[in-house]
Chains A and B, each alone.
Chain A
Amino acid sequence: MFRLIVFAMLLSTGLAAVGGVLAIGQASSSRSQSTARQEGWRKEFDDICSKTQDAMTVSKEELTVLISRCDALKPKLEKLDETRKKVYLERLRMCRGLYAYVLESKEKNDK
């Protein structure tokens, strides 16, 4: 009887430990996925908006691509928390606005 109780206790401790490890692993994996997602939009944002200072030297084709990337990023930024959404949507708006302005200027000059 005693052996049975000890065996049951060991078994339940072992199961709890395995469950705990799995749970921690899942949480950590979910956290890292969330961080990766966050880093994803930030990387894309930084990459798109890194060309504002030499926008005049960017080709019309590249400007069109940059504008499309801005439009694709916007829905992702809209899903962020209130503060980040507020700040990064405004920054993206300015960034996109400049590319659209330069593209329009170039098209006018070509006419």
Chain B
Amino acid sequence: MHMCWSPKKRTTSERECFSLVLLGAVFFLTTSGWAQIYLPQPPPEQAADYGKVIIGNASSATGPGPVVFDHWLHRAKFTCRLCHVDIGFAMQANASGITATTNREGFHCGACHDGKRVIGGKVVFASCSNESSSNNCNRCHSLGKKDVRKYTYRAFTAKLPKGYYGIDWTAAENQRKIKPINFLEGISVKRTPMQTRPDFSIKATMPWVHPIIFSHEAHAIWNGCELCHPEIFPTAPKETVRDSMFLNIEGRYCGACHGKVAYPLNSCIQCHPRGPIWAR
């Protein structure tokens, strides 16, 4: 039987056949599994679901059920640094060890949700308080429950500037529509003022894309230093390729936030403002 991919000396028609098979294989891989792994996944259709974290390690089995944490609601009021450094929330769901006890003792959610702290002119309701009504419990423990949340994404973000996807948080801050709090009395450490680091460009690993303009200042204001270094960006030899899109898609480096909470990885122009080399 004559097979077109036979390793023997090939005729022209065999070569064409081989090329077709190869092309078909490349096309298949590109459009199916390979693409699913190595292309940025589109963010959720509803921007309200972007950055949603389900926390359920301590409350699911016997208690009021898992907590739905909305990043959009909290990031409008606090810097990333305040929650992930000063309060000590881990960057992965269920990794912080949040319990009703830690909340009642004024840590984790209870750092703000203590029934006393005033933020934005309002007293923040107490989390996991023994005096809480079930309505209060349901405000956080809301997975699968309808009409229990006080804020809806649409109403809350109505006046905030919109970006390529969802809210343009940088613009919101620049326009003073939001003023994220970066210090919590009794929790935060009084620090010396931040020494801003200059912005720099990062050469793209793909030759057809212009470099990334990385704003160290913008990132440091929101995140502080220790949120990114050394865990997400450890020291590495200069030749190390660590900013490739493949690694970002895997959730490493920029992908630790972008693609999960910060604007999605397929908002190419946000990081590569000059786009591909043929654009400009």
Interface residues of chain A, those whose CB is within 8 Å of chain B, are 45-46, 49-57, 82-84, 86-88, 90-91, 94-95, 97-98, 100-102, 104-105, 108
Contacts and interface: CB of A to CB of B under 8 A. Distances in A.
Interface stretch (B30-38, B173-181, B223-231, B264-272): B223-231
A55 B197 CA distance: 11
Contacts of B13: none
Interface string B222-262: 00111101110011000000000000000000000000000
17 contacts: A49-B191, A53-B191, A54-B193, A57-B195, A83-B101, A83-B105, A83-B107, A86-B88, A86-B102, A86-B107, A97-B226, A97-B229, A97-B230, A98-B225, A104-B230, A104-B235, A108-B235
Contact of A98 (B87, B107, B230): B230
B226 A54 contact: no
B96 to A, nearest CB: 8
Contacts of B193: 53-54
Task: Name the residue in A51, A57, A83 with the highest tally of chain B Cβ atoms < 10 Å from its Cβ.
Answer: A83
B229 A46 contact: no
Contacts of B107: 83-84, 86-87
B192 A50 contact: yes
Given A52-B191, A101-B230, 20 more contacts: A45-B189, A49-B191, A51-B192, A54-B192, A56-B195, A56-B197, A83-B105, A86-B88, A86-B102, A86-B107, A87-B87, A87-B88, A90-B90, A94-B85, A94-B231, A95-B226, A97-B229, A97-B231, A101-B229, A108-B235
Nearest to B190: A50
Contacts of A94: 85, 226-227, 231
Nearest to A99: B226
Interface string B152-168: 00000000000000000
10 nearest interchain CB pairs? A101-B230, A98-B226, A53-B194, A54-B195, A94-B226, A90-B88, A101-B229, A53-B191, A83-B102, A46-B189
Contacts of B70: none
Interface of B: 85-88, 90, 97, 101-102, 105, 107-108, 189-195, 197, 224-227, 229-231, 234-235
Secondary structure class of chain A's binding surface, majority of residues: helix
A78 B101 CA distance: 18
Nearest to B103: A83
A52 B86 CA distance: 12
Contacts of B105: 83
A95 B130 CA distance: 34
Contacts of A97: 226, 229-231
Nearest to A81: B105
Contact of B97 (A50, A53, A86, A88): A86
A52 B88 contact: no
Residue of B108, B190, B229, B231 most packed against chain A (CB within 10 A)? B229
A50 B197 CA distance: 18
Contacts of B102: 83, 86-87
Contacts of A52: 191, 224-226
Contacts of A84: 107
Contacts of A88: 88
Contact of B191 (A50, A57, A102): A50
Contacts of B195: 53-54, 56-57
B83 to A, nearest CB: 12
